[in-house]
Structure 1
Amino acid sequence: MKHYDHIVIGAGVIGTSVAFHLSNLGARNVLVLDRATIGAGTTSQSSGILRTHYSVKENVELARKSWSVFNDFAAYLEDEEASCGLVKCGYMIVAGEGDKLEPLRAALNQQKEQGIPLEILNAQQAGELLPIAQFEDAALIGYEPEAGFADAYLTATSFARAARRRGVTIKENVTVNKLVIRDGKVSGVSTTAGDFTAQNVISTQNIWTPELAGWTGRELPVAPERHAVLALECREAPYTFSMPVFKDLASQGMLYYRSYGGNQMLVSEGVVGEKLNAADTEQGDIPMDYIVNVGTQVAERFTAYETAGIASSWTGVYDVTPDWNPVLGALPGVEGLILGYGFSGHGFKLSPTVGKVLAQSALGLLTDVSLLPYSIERFSTGALLTGKYGLGAVS
């Protein structure tokens, strides 16, 4: 029976970030286990948007620290070949007259107070940055020049390589069947590749977190939820890499957009998706009604896309908590177990800092960002991290 000091369950972008940061903080006996391969689960389904805009102030801090990592990724990993695929194009968010206007104003003011580089634009300025869109209905436009998008799979594999170079063992295609707990303390895991002992386990199981709930006998609020992503093609009005990521709070689905290369735009909704009965990363059907509904909303903002075609599409699954924000830190009553789940669509953009603070927590160090607001106990105390825009992947 092989012993490790720390075992990380899950080799997505969060788990590999945890492994890298454990090793970077001095841990030398770390094992990562994944039921599939590095970054092959929900990480591979990410739209990759990077922003610090959140109406939950705690998330702004996680995102800001993470952005600094993405902005100098190879140097941070001390690997000149490492890449996160960063496209630094900015992030624009718009609200019209209505119930999203004052929440957006409050969130933008909050960002300013937290020191985020931010501009308030008029319609003309917005049109110069994103000339394929119209802004006649825009009542408030925020612009974050230090933002953009990147590649979640590249990020995860780069974190994994950097971790391996520091001595971390990563075992792929190994399923964890049980967390072993003795006298209220973690003592290891039982897997399809045998048993491994450890005094610390960091769970980044994502949509498979209900398995952990079964192993611990504890309630871990989370539900899998499927979301559809469309890539639309329009040769008359290409969405280029120089144009900012765009969030449209004025649209019914609070749509988000970004360039997808060539003549394509990537678009998806930022509202509650399809509830699933069990964890499932397989591709789901995208109903024609959904495509028509989203296409109609797109054409209202991007008029040339009224006749756009669908170049490709896919579905991704979020691990959603009741307040659409993650659970981070220790599970009270189970010594040696650290939780990192429930990212509800935010995981990739927060992954560098989340990985670091979970590693710090596992090592008993002071965390760069307080984990108290992200404690699982908030669901029983009522101190929820609910965003100002309602439920959905904006927070």
Structure 2
Amino acid sequence: MNVYDAIVIGAGVIGTSTAFHLAQLGARNVLVLDRKTIGEGTTSQSSGILRTHYSVQENVELAQRSWSTFNNFAAYLEDEDASSGLVKCGYMIWAAEGDKLEPLRQSLLAQEAQGIALQYLDPVQAKALLPIAQFDDTALICFEPEAGFADAYLVATSFARAARRRGVTIKEGVSVEKVIIENGRVVGVDTSAGRFLSDTVVSTQNIWTPELEQWTGLKLPVRPERHTVIALEGPQAYSYNMPVFKDLASKGMLYGRSYGGNQMLVSEGVAGETLSSPDTEQGDVSLDDVVEIGAQVAERFPSFETAGLATSWTGVYDVTPDWNPVLGALPGVEGLIAGFGFSGHGFKLSPAVGRILAQAALKLPTDVSLKPYALERFTTGQLLVGKYGSGAVS
């Protein structure tokens, strides 16, 4: 009864997507284990932004495939009640004269070459789409109409429900204590609920990936990093029909979107606070952080100079040295597949990543090459370094 075709560790949005795709691709007996509940960890802290804009070209295809799923979510899951909570408002990115301008230009050209629909805007056109902003200092503005935001928790629970309908077993409140390895291959896991056996284990442990490092002896370079997110309510509404934005001209490379149809959800897209250990508990949001982010917002959105703080929270990223994920089989342990180090990209890429992790686990050809995402890149030096510096836009 405790023998499975595949075991997935972690029931966040990546883990539930992987489990769904394992079942969709023919795995008959899949087990998902999570120390908490479905989507309770870092998934629940996601800002939910969906875009295909990346300066790392490999990520664009994953994002493009994922957008297709989000845009047809109920049909993809074959569940008319499934919803991603998608708000299709588009994504606007801009840069001023300076070091971000040419990287943005080159990234947009690469996107177009990959078939992404883009619209180049002048400041008047940009203001028509995002009337609460000013664009006096911008040198390049681009709008991606096939973009927006969605609800990460809702997506994770929808993937989980669709997986269960296909026979997947999900055990919540069960902690994995060890991956069992015999003669260089995985044979199962020991947990707080006993031993479960499988010759295929997929780790989607996110900020808890250092546990996998301890169990396997592999060097898995990932660290937990905390970021502050705030919601501001200004005299002018940030409505649902206004696009998500990315401001490469701001000090913190701000990103934001409508929150609740009236407020602005906003955060910085730069490196955050490195934590000494994995922890999804809410950290303190300092007044200094609120003032710093608020001042940058006011420069771009003048009416928000008098905005009030509606709410705030912290989210934790699993960050690798190049701010991009490790995907696929881990060296030296047959049957062990991993997806970690999403560095803020996880939700955007989750449908495509779940599918390719499932394909790798089942030894099927993957939709997208996993070679650029291999763990070995950190020793060979073939890193997936973004053009904008350290931060979650990559």
What is the TM-score when the length of structure 2 is the normalising length? Answer: 1.00
Match of 2:360 in 1: 361
Paired with 1:125 and 1:147, the residues of 2 have a C-alpha distance of 18
Match of 2:37 in 1: 37
Paired with 2:246 and 2:261, the residues of 1 have a C-alpha distance of 20
* CA offset digits 1:138-159 (Å, max 9, x no partner): 1000110000000000000000
Match of 2:337 in 1: 338
Q: CA deviation at 1:263?
A: 2.4
* CA offset digits 1:218-274 (Å, max 9, x no partner): 10000000000000011x210000000000000000000100024211000000000
Paired with 2:12 and 2:297, the residues of 1 have a C-alpha distance of 31
Paired with 2:121 and 2:256, the residues of 1 have a C-alpha distance of 18
Q: Count matched residues.
A: 394
Match of 2:392 in 1: 393
Paired with 1:344 and 1:230, the residues of 2 have a C-alpha distance of 19
Paired with 1:264 and 1:55, the residues of 2 have a C-alpha distance of 29
* CA offset digits 1:277-306 (Å, max 9, x no partner): 000000000111111111100000000000
Amino acid at match of 1:123: P
SS in 1 for 2:264: strand
Give percent identity, aligned residues only: 74
Match of 2:289 in 1: 290
Match of 1:119 in 2: 119
Paired with 1:210 and 1:257, the residues of 2 have a C-alpha distance of 31
Match of 1:251 in 2: 250
In structure 1, the gaps of 5 or more residues are none
Paired with 2:330 and 2:43, the residues of 1 have a C-alpha distance of 24
SS in 2 for 1:59: helix
Paired with 1:13 and 1:28, the residues of 2 have a C-alpha distance of 21
Match of 2:141 in 1: 141
Match of 2:104 in 1: 104
Paired with 2:264 and 2:155, the residues of 1 have a C-alpha distance of 22
Question: Is 1:49 matched up with 2:37?
Answer: no
Match of 1:58 in 2: 58
Match of 2:178 in 1: 178
Q: CA deviation at 1:366?
A: 0.3
SS in 2 for 1:380: helix
RMSD: 0.5
Kindly report which structure 2 residues correspond to 1:220-369, keeping only aligned pairs within 5 A, or say none: 220-234=220-234, 236-369=235-368
Q: CA deviation at 1:5?
A: 1.1
Paired with 2:96 and 2:261, the residues of 1 have a C-alpha distance of 30
SS in 1 for 2:230: strand
Kindly report which structure 2 residues correspond to 1:76-91, keeping only aligned pairs within 5 A, or say none: 76-91=76-91
Amino acid at match of 1:365: L
In structure 2, the gaps of 5 or more residues are none
SS in 2 for 1:2: coil
Paired with 1:293 and 1:169, the residues of 2 have a C-alpha distance of 46
Match of 1:195 in 2: 195
Paired with 2:193 and 2:42, the residues of 1 have a C-alpha distance of 23
Amino acid at match of 1:143: F
SS in 1 for 2:86: coil
Match of 2:169 in 1: 169
Amino acid at match of 2:374: S
Amino acid at match of 1:141: I
SS in 1 for 2:299: helix
Match of 1:209 in 2: 209
Paired with 2:261 and 2:225, the residues of 1 have a C-alpha distance of 30
Match of 2:150 in 1: 150
Runs of 4+ aligned residues of structure 1 deviating over 6 Å after TM superposition are none
